[in-house]
Amino acid sequence: MPELVEDEIKRYVETDGSNCLFCAGDKLHLGKLRGGTGVTFRDITCLGCGETWREIFHLAEIQYPARADFAEVERP
């Protein structure tokens, strides 16, 4: 299993996980969202190199009332 360095993980998060952490490919299989109180996660598999990792999501904010256009939400 390849080792990841902090800079690689930071770059992945900053680019919204659009490319594989290992081969930079863009063919990713996004698993179903799962989780419990306070945390949600999904497993990601690169269809190019076969590596698998887990994305972890934490609640950052809410939108009320909910808008139809999600693009209106500002990123931190």
pLDDT in tens, the chain (76 residues): 778 888 888 988 888 899 999 999 999 999 999 998 888 999 999 999 999 999 999 888 888 888 777 665 565 5
Q: Contacts for 28-34 with beta carbons within 8 Å, 24 or more apart?
A: 33/57
- Judged by DSSP in three states, 12 sits in helix
In a 10 Å sphere around its CB, with 0-12 CB exposed, 13-18 middle and 19+ buried, how is residue 62 labelled? Answer: exposed
Contact 64, 57 (CB under 8 A): no
- Distance in angstroms (rounded) separating the CA atoms of residues 41 and 33: 6
